[in-house]
A and B are shown apart, each in its own frame.
Chain A
């Protein structure tokens, strides 16, 4: 299992829809650059096997699109509105309940090797 940090490997595993994502990533990177040294990162889970939620972190575990082994992603949610974290939680549950039916795409801002939640999106396949 891989512990995910901000890396291009993750994006490399995301074969399908990679070029479209480049544009999204470029926009997020621009926003991050304007804010400081932070940059954006995108993770697309083909399967979600586990989901944990603490007061500070949401942990996603599953197989990233294009990957062969399960990976684990910790996303900081301290101070986030409950509606946003609850939305991500429900999307993870949907992906777990319907294996292979959805892709769960999580966009984060990476700052000092820590991921901060930006957007959760559930995509029907």
Chain B
């Protein structure tokens, strides 16, 4: 309608512009319409060839006409300029030109098929056509948008997802149709719970957790069922896979007496988690039929009579939890001289004491005793008078005539009661046999014969008693200058004192004197003037001495 109105407006405009045109050619065009054929037509008019454009898509087809239009004036509605390609769909405004395509997706499922040709289209190809060649597998059914892929399917009668038998090609969509499977190898085509053939290496038929080695395959589901495994269970191998109470093979020793200790040889017993009854892990039972004894004890000493005294005897004894009495590893109280009698155990040596004086005689004998020698036997021997109860001990003696405890003369052997008779002593060598105050020789180094307590050096020996008798000394006392005069005690260096001032002067004399110097003599000899009692020092001598000492 709009284009019709525009067309009519254009005609009116042309009529107004061409007013007065008299159609000089007489062709009938001049009535109300300008005539491009008139010789005097205006310069802004032209002839234009038009073609029908019923669908108004800008591309015409079919009927054509010639129209006198102003320059630049659009063609009237429903018409377009001729000379271009014709509209391949004159009544379809969305299509006007033939366009080539290389693919086709007839069912619009997104999976095209290769197909080339031309189709009348507009600016773009209509839906379902592809300008380029499609890639990938072509749609196996381009008329059904529910199917697009061609697969090989296997019959899956048990519908477990795994097929069997020969495959056949099927065009399907996203999902495999029921009763078919795209995976074959169903080891049990009629059993929905089994489809895969799985390897197993161990079998636990009795379900006790212990398995036995058995390599094979099993048609099952996605995993091995209980009783089948690829790894051994605990306590494997099962020594009895047909009994869930027994799976562990014990290496044990028969324990017939039930004391917990068995005997060799070892036996293999199939049992459960507990040690089978009548067997032991230990083989040390030394008395297989005696439940009170199962262990061997070593010993080094025997005390058969139980008196704690032993005999050295090493060995082994079968017993229970403790070393049996009478078998020891130590010597106990000591060696047993008789291990069969608890009353005697100690070996003692003795001599027969026939006279009962406590001293035996003859050779020594050994007696097995209870700790004491039997009657009539004593430890000590050597009775010098075996038949005399008053004498038994032989003593060597010396005659001590002066009674000072030291005898003299040849030694004498006497059979006594243990004590020497009066007048006899054990020690001899009296240097003065008839002087009770002297009996031994003592050394001296000095003498003081005048008794002034000043000694002279004189060494020698003298027969004496407990100490050296005067005048002998074992230590010096001064140096007696005259041991015959007790008034003279020692040597002194003296100087004659001429002036009586108790200071003398040289020459000196060495005199044998008593307690003090004699008159006219002095122990000092440094009187500077021995003729003058007032003068005792000399200043010049003192200066000279000071000079020397300085």
B544 CB to closest chain A CB (Å) equals 8
In the docked arrangement, what's the CA distance between A97 and B525, Å? 10
In the docked arrangement, what's the CA distance between A101 and B479, Å? 22
Contact present for A125 and B477 (CB under 8 Å): no
- A1 located at the interface, meaning its Cβ lies under 8 Å from any Cβ of chain B in the complex: no
- B545 located at the interface, meaning its Cβ lies under 8 Å from any Cβ of chain A in the complex: yes
**Chain A residues whose CB sits within 8 angstroms of the CB of B493 once the complex forms:** 46-47, 63, 100
Some 28 contacts from A to B, beta carbons below 8 A apart, are A9-B457, A11-B476, A12-B446, A12-B455, A12-B478, A15-B477, A15-B489, A16-B478, A46-B493, A47-B508, A63-B493, A63-B510, A66-B491, A67-B491, A68-B510, A69-B510, A93-B548, A94-B545, A94-B549, A97-B526, A97-B548, A99-B508, A99-B524, A100-B523, A100-B525, A101-B524, A101-B525, A101-B526
A8 CB to closest chain B CB (Å) equals 7
Q: Which residue of A lies closest to B454 (CB)?
A: A15
Most B C-beta atoms less than 10 A away, residue of A9, A15, A68, A101:
A15
Q: Which residue of A lies closest to B455 (CB)?
A: A12
**Chain B residues whose CB sits within 8 angstroms of the CB of A11 once the complex forms:** 476
Contact present for A15 and B478 (CB under 8 Å): yes
Contact present for B510 and A100 (CB under 8 Å): no
- A53 located at the interface, meaning its Cβ lies under 8 Å from any Cβ of chain B in the complex: no
In the docked arrangement, what's the CA distance between A68 and B489, Å? 13
From B446, B481, B506, B541, give the contact of A97 (CB < 8 A): B541
8 A Cβ contacts from A33-69 to B = 46-47, 63, 66-69
In the docked arrangement, what's the CA distance between A63 and B477, Å? 18
In the docked arrangement, what's the CA distance between A90 and B548, Å? 8
Contact present for B478 and A99 (CB under 8 Å): no
8 A Cβ contacts from B498-519 to A = 504, 506, 508, 510, 512
Contact present for B495 and A99 (CB under 8 Å): yes
**Chain B residues whose CB sits within 8 angstroms of the CB of A13 once the complex forms:** 479, 491
The contact string, 1 if C-beta is below 8 Å from chain B, for chain A 93-111, is 1100111110000000000
The contact string, 1 if C-beta is below 8 Å from chain B, for chain A 1-40, is 0000000110111111010000000000000000000000
Contact present for B478 and A125 (CB under 8 Å): no
**Chain B residues whose CB sits within 8 angstroms of the CB of A47 once the complex forms:** 493, 508
A16 CB to closest chain B CB (Å) equals 8
- B520 located at the interface, meaning its Cβ lies under 8 Å from any Cβ of chain A in the complex: no
In the docked arrangement, what's the CA distance between A1 and B162, Å? 145
Other A-B pairs beyond A15-B478, A69-B510, A98-B526, 11, CB < 8 Å: A13-B479, A15-B477, A15-B489, A47-B508, A67-B479, A68-B510, A93-B545, A97-B526, A97-B548, A99-B495, A100-B522
A79 CB to closest chain B CB (Å) equals 25
**Chain A residues whose CB sits within 8 angstroms of the CB of B492 once the complex forms:** 46
B31 CB to closest chain A CB (Å) equals 174
**Chain A residues whose CB sits within 8 angstroms of the CB of B78 once the complex forms:** none
**Chain B residues whose CB sits within 8 angstroms of the CB of A101 once the complex forms:** 524-526
A50 CB to closest chain B CB (Å) equals 15
B263 CB to closest chain A CB (Å) equals 78
- B335 located at the interface, meaning its Cβ lies under 8 Å from any Cβ of chain A in the complex: no
In the docked arrangement, what's the CA distance between A100 and B517, Å? 13
- B207 located at the interface, meaning its Cβ lies under 8 Å from any Cβ of chain A in the complex: no
In the docked arrangement, what's the CA distance between A47 and B446, Å? 26
Contact present for A100 and B495 (CB under 8 Å): yes
From A14, A67, A99, give the contact of B525 (CB < 8 A): A99
From A46, A66, A93, give the contact of B479 (CB < 8 A): A66
**Chain A residues whose CB sits within 8 angstroms of the CB of B549 once the complex forms:** 90, 93-94
A6 CB to closest chain B CB (Å) equals 15
**Chain A residues whose CB sits within 8 angstroms of the CB of B522 once the complex forms:** 100
B541 CB to closest chain A CB (Å) equals 7
Contact present for B479 and A12 (CB under 8 Å): yes
- B490 located at the interface, meaning its Cβ lies under 8 Å from any Cβ of chain A in the complex: yes
**Chain A residues whose CB sits within 8 angstroms of the CB of B524 once the complex forms:** 98-101, 125
8 A Cβ contacts from B460-479 to A = 476-479
Contact present for B523 and A125 (CB under 8 Å): yes
In the docked arrangement, what's the CA distance between A27 and B179, Å? 132
From B446, B478, B523, B541, give the contact of A18 (CB < 8 A): B478
**Chain B residues whose CB sits within 8 angstroms of the CB of A69 once the complex forms:** 510
A26 CB to closest chain B CB (Å) equals 13
In the docked arrangement, what's the CA distance between A94 and B495, Å? 18
Most B C-beta atoms less than 10 A away, residue of A8, A66, A68, A100:
A100
B322 CB to closest chain A CB (Å) equals 64
Q: Which residue of A lies closest to B542 (CB)?
A: A97
In the docked arrangement, what's the CA distance between A90 and B495, Å? 23
Contact present for B491 and A99 (CB under 8 Å): no
Contact present for B526 and A18 (CB under 8 Å): no
A5 CB to closest chain B CB (Å) equals 15
**Chain B residues whose CB sits within 8 angstroms of the CB of A90 once the complex forms:** 549
